[in-house]
Each structure stands twice: as C-alpha cells, then as structure tokens.
C-alpha cells in the first residue's frame, strides 16, 4: 500500500510517534480489497497496561452510587488500547511492513486491579493488485 505521509499517532503519556502506516492499511479483515500481500512478516503485537488507582476507583464507586457514568474507566481503557495499537504499529513498521491484517485486541485485568490490553495482527507488505483485463471480468447478468 503506498505510504504518502506519516500518520501522527499519540498516546496519553504525551509522547507522539510518527507512524508511516496509513490508517486504511490496518484492518481486522484477513485481506485488503484491491491489494495483494507481497510478503508476510509474521505476527506482531503491542501491549499496554494501566495500573490500578485506588483514589480514582473510590470516586468511580461513589459516582456509580449516585448514578454518574464511569467516564474515567472508559478513558483508561481507551488509553491502554491506543498505547497498545501504537506499539504494534511501531513494531510492524520496524519490520518493513506497510500494513497489518487480522488486527485483534485482548483485554485482561490482573489480580492487583491493573488492566492490560494486547493488540496483535499479521504484519504484511502490501502493493496494489494488478487490474484484471476486461476479457477476464465476469459479464453482468442481462435480465
């Protein structure tokens, strides 16, 4: 897949990384329409964890008792997801890949209350698929 300009990707830690993988080159599907896999680099992963914060958890519990939405919990999960995806993209790019297929996320909670998010997928080198000659394309049904 042609990479035009780096995509800016930021995690909550304040550090930003220039990732040259185009957003359309990262997919949960096993193939990318209009492109072919030139090379597979194998599976790559990225992980992030968010430690348990007792004070934050106490305020969440109080908020739940009075009917407030657990916004902070969602924010922590989103941050961990973003950090794990950033790590995965950096690894894939360092291997020479310009795409990731079959992207999946796995989240788990440790005994100490910390949350861990793992992102994984297959790092691949994609290129545009050659156009089919008109003679090989199926004829549309004329009814």
- Domains of the chain, each with CATH number or no CATH: 7-130 (3.30.110.70)
Q: Once rounded to an integer, what is the mean pLDDT over residues 64-76?
A: 65
Residue 89 has pLDDT above 70, yes or no: yes
What are the pLDDT digits (tens) for 114-136? 889 999 999 999 998 887 765 66
Structure confidence at residue 110 as a pLDDT band (50, 70, 90): confident
* pLDDT given at position 83: 93
Contacts of residue 77, Cβ cutoff 8 Å, sequence gap at least 6: 50, 107, 115, 117
Residue 33 β-bridge partners: none
Q: Once rounded to an integer, what is the mean pLDDT over residues 80-92?
A: 94
CA distance 120 to 99: 12
What are the pLDDT digits (tens) for 34-59? 889 999 999 999 999 988 766 766 76
């Amino acid at each position: 897949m042609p990479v035009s300009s780096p995509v800016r990707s930021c995690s909550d830690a304040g550090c930003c990384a220039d990732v040259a993988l185009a957003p359309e080159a990262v997919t949960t599907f096993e193939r990318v329409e209009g492109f072919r896999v030139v090379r597979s680099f194998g599976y790559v992963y990225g992980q992030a964890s968010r430690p348990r914060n007792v004070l934050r958890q106490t305020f969440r519990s109080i908020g739940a008792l009075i009917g407030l939405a657990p916004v902070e919990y969602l924010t922590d999960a989103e941050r961990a997801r973003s950090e794990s995806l950033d790590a995965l993209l950096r690894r894939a790019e360092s291997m020479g890949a310009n795409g990731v297929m079959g992207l999946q996320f796995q989240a788990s909670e440790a005994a100490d209350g910390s949350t861990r998010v793992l992102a994984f997928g297959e790092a691949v080198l994609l290129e545009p698929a050659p156009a089919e000659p008109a003679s090989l394309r199926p004829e549309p049904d004329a009814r």
